[in-house]
């Protein structure tokens, strides 16, 4: 993709991520100059390694600095958004769990090294990569203790990344200290203004709000500060930063678990480093290669139509009163879809200006390590600007879960890498489109009314204390009956709702299409729809799969049993079916 983009790009900017990737893949052997540059950068971030941090270390400041300003957060996802309820005039801080893939990496490395009784070797290999063959600054007992602590810390954070939000929070900064007893509100405010505030915006005050995806986020943070000193927390944050990035200095660190590990993982690691820095640019290049402007407009129209279809189905639902119908329809119509880079990124001149300060040297001009540090420093210096926000807020093209719904922002995030086969094809028939990308989108969209979505209004405000939803009492009772209908089936009510919405849109799409190319004489658009839906629901069998259980879902579809002529009372056509609308 990058090579083609560099050939075709009119802005001349595409050569930067291409050179960045090539420099990573072709980097030279370790040098002490690179190692010292890496350690100096680490210290500029407020981290300390391999020695323990000094007494009085500011752990909260380090957490905010590393997880907000840098391109690759480790412990938390921290964003700044504008408050819809206040007309966008005030900013809010968003705290969410972070990067399941990175936390899984730490858990796996810790478990593998300790199970094989090689954690001491694992730590010392990083020490020698950065410090050379000097006398170790820690003894085996200290390193064993570090391993035990790390297993606990990253285990808690990795578990947090799996938690399905059930108790979102909207707090004034003045209230946050009640949930983090070692971190009073005034301390939060000081560190937020030191590490997050900036640019033309005014400083944060105690009246500004913090949006927390789930109460478990602050509970976990409180637990860490309760069980570990600030010095210990910064020590672990520093060590995890080293584990994540020290291979840039010495690629032999990737050989620790065998030579094949380097061969298999190095291209992906380099790709991730490029995306962390250049995400909006890569998204722009990807879109330009896969969709015309007209196809982008058509996809926007189709996604908007799905929102409108759902809104109209709410207004026709007999189990809701008029207030409930209006609430649901308004929430759908206010929902944002975060898919495309900003329009300015499609203008070659503006793109050139945006990335003018990013490094463009290739490997012959400077080492990969110093090129990487230069890119990280540039992005860090842009914290609070639109380019930094776009880089942090766009969904990763490399993460397996390509779509997600943010309850507090009322927003569906879509990675542009979903706009390729097999999930999306601009020339697809209605059955393929609605069974593939459209259903994946609707599945996230309809979380706006699951048991967590019902706690949050369209503008991110929570329902009043003592209530569990914005539904009226009669509608809430009907909702519980509908949810109870599913019993132990491994499917939830929002998936049922998504299926009903998408099938409604499909039926209209088939009627409005003048010519259809069926897959075969025996496979019409309805069959294509259900086959595509199940094809894209396939996943590795693990409890945190982002897909839906196809069989469990389609058992509740009368249309499915009609299309495939399932015998009444058979497993795929049970007598009792559950519905949403």
DSSP string, 502-534: HHHHHHHHHHH-S----SBTTB-HHHHHHHHHH
List the pLDDT tens digit at each of the 581 positions of the chain.
Answer: 888 888 888 788 999 999 999 999 998 888 999 999 999 999 999 999 999 999 999 999 999 999 999 878 899 999 998 776 656 567 899 999 988 889 999 999 999 999 999 999 999 999 999 999 888 889 999 999 999 999 999 999 999 998 899 999 999 999 999 999 999 999 999 999 999 976 667 899 999 999 999 999 999 999 999 999 999 999 999 999 999 999 999 988 988 777 787 788 889 999 999 999 999 999 999 999 999 999 999 999 999 999 999 999 999 999 999 999 999 999 999 999 999 999 999 999 999 999 999 987 554 457 899 999 999 999 999 988 889 989 999 999 988 789 999 999 999 999 999 999 889 999 888 999 999 999 999 999 999 999 999 999 998 899 998 899 999 999 999 999 999 999 988 899 999 999 999 999 999 877 766 555 666 778 889 999 999 999 988 776 555 556 789 999 999 999 999 999 999 999 999 999 999 99
Helix or strand holding residue 404 (H, E): strand 403-406
Buried b (16+ CB within 10 A) or exposed e, 81-103: bebbeeeeebbbbbbbbbbbebb
Tell me: do 322 and 211 sit in the same domain: no
Tell me: do 125 and 197 sit in the same domain: yes
Which of 533, 540, 275, 264 minimizes the C-alpha distance to 417?
275
Tell me: do 188 and 231 sit in the same domain: yes
pLDDT for residue 358: 92
Tell me: do 544 and 483 sit in the same domain: yes
- In this structure, what is the dihedral angle of CA atoms 257, 260, 263, 267, given to the nearest 10 degrees? -60
Q: Total domain count for the chain?
A: 2
pLDDT for residue 513: 64
Tell me: do 50 and 163 sit in the same domain: yes
> Longest C-alpha distance within the chain, in Å?
77
Does residue 132 fall inside a structural domain? Answer: yes
Tell me: do 519 and 386 sit in the same domain: yes
Does residue 40 fall inside a structural domain? Answer: yes
CA distance from start to end of the chain: 43
Secondary structure of residue 316 in the 3-state scheme: helix
Question: Considering 202, 231, 249, which residue would you say is the last residue of a domain?
Answer: 249
pLDDT for residue 538: 78
The angle at the Cα of 74, spanning 356 to 358, to the nearest 5 degrees, equals: 5
Confirm whether pTM is higher than 0.85.
yes
Give the separation between CA 374 and CA 41, rounded to whole angstroms: 10
Does residue 181 fall inside a structural domain? Answer: yes
Which of 8, 158, 79 minimizes the C-alpha distance to 392?
79
Q: How many CB atoms lie within 10 A of CB 566?
A: 17
The CATH number given to whatever domain includes residue 63 is 1.10.1380.10
pLDDT for residue 521: 77
Tell me: do 297 and 154 sit in the same domain: no
The CATH number given to whatever domain includes residue 310 is 3.40.390.10
Tell me: do 231 and 352 sit in the same domain: no
DSSP string, 143-197: HHHHHHHHHHHHHHHHHHHHPPP-S-EEEEGGGGGGT-TTS-HHHHHHHHHHHT-
Domain residues for the domain of 116 are 31-249
Tell me: do 178 and 303 sit in the same domain: no
Which of 377, 379, 365, 308 minimizes the C-alpha distance to 337?
308
Tell me: do 300 and 239 sit in the same domain: no
Tell me: do 240 and 348 sit in the same domain: no
């Amino acid at each position: 993709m990058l090579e083609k983009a560099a050939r075709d790009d009119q802005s001349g900017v595409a050569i930067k991520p291409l050179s960045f990737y090539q420099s990573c893949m072709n980097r030279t052997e370790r040098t002490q100059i690179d190692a010292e540059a890496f350690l100096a950068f680490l210290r500029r971030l407020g981290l300390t390694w391999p020695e323990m941090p000094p007494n009085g270390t500011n752990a909260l400041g380090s957490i905010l600095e590393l997880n907000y300003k840098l391109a690759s957060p480790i412990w938390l996802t921290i964003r700044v958004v504008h408050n819809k309820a206040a007309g966008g005039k005030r900013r809010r801080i968003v705290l969410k769990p972070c990067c399941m893939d990175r936390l899984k990496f730490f858990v796996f490395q810790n478990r593998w090294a300790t199970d094989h009784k090689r954690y001491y070797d694992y730590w010392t290999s990083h020490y020698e990569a950065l410090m050379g063959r000097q006398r170790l600054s820690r003894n085996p007992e200290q390193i064993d203790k570090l391993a035990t602590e790390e297993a606990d810390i990253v285990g808690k954070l990795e578990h947090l990344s799996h938690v399905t939000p059930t108790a979102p929070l909207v707090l004034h900064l003045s209230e946050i200290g009640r949930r983090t007893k070692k971190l009073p509100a005034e301390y939060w405010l000081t560190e937020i203004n030191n590490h997050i505030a900036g640019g033309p915006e005014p400083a944060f005050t105690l009246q500004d709000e913090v949006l927390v995806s789930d109460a478990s986020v602050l509970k976990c943070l409180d637990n860490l500060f309760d069980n570990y000193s600030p010095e210990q927390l910064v020590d672990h944050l520093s060590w995890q930063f080293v584990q994540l990035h020290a291979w840039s200095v010495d690629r032999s660190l990737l050989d620790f678990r065998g030579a094949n590990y380097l061969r298999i993982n190095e291209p992906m690691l380099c790709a991730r480093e490029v995306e962390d820095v250049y995400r909006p640019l890569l998204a722009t290049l990807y879109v330009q290669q896969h969709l015309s402007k007209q196809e982008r407009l058509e996809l926007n129209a189709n996604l908007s139509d799905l929102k409108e279809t759902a809104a109209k189905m709410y207004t026709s639902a007999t189990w809701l009163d008029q207030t409930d119908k209006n609430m649901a329809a308004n929430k759908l119509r206010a929902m944002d879809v975060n898919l495309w880079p900003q329009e300015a990124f499609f203008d070659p001149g503006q793109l050139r200006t945006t990335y003018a300060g990013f490094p463009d040297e290739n490997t012959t001009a400077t080492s990969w390590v110093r090129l990487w540090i230069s890119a990280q420093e540039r992005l860090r210096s842009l914290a609070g600007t639109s380019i930094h926000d776009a880089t942090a807020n766009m969904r990763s093209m490399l993460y397996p879960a390509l779509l997600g719904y943010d309850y507090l922002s009322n927003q569906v995030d879509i990675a542009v890498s979903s706009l390729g086969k097999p999930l999306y094809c601009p020339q697809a028939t209605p059955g393929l489109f609605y069974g593939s990308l459209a259903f994946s989108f609707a599945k996230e969209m309809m979380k706006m009314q699951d048991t967590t979505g019902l706690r949050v209004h369209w503008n991110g405000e929570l329902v009043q204390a003592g209530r569990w939803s914005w539904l009226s009492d009669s509608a809430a009772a009907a909702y519980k009956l509908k949810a109870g209908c599913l019993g132990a089936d491994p499917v939830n009510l929002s998936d049922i709702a998504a299926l009903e919405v998408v099938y409604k849109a499909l039926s209209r799409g088939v009627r409005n299409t003048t010519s259809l190319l069926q897959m075969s004489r025996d496979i019409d658009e309805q069959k294509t729809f259900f086959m595509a839906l199940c094809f894209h629901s396939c996943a590795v069998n693990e409890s945190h799969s982002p897909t839906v259980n196809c069989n469990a879902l389609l058992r509740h579809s009368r249309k499915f049993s009609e299309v495939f002529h399932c015998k009444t009372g058979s497993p795929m056509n049970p007598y009792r079916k559950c519905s949403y609308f």
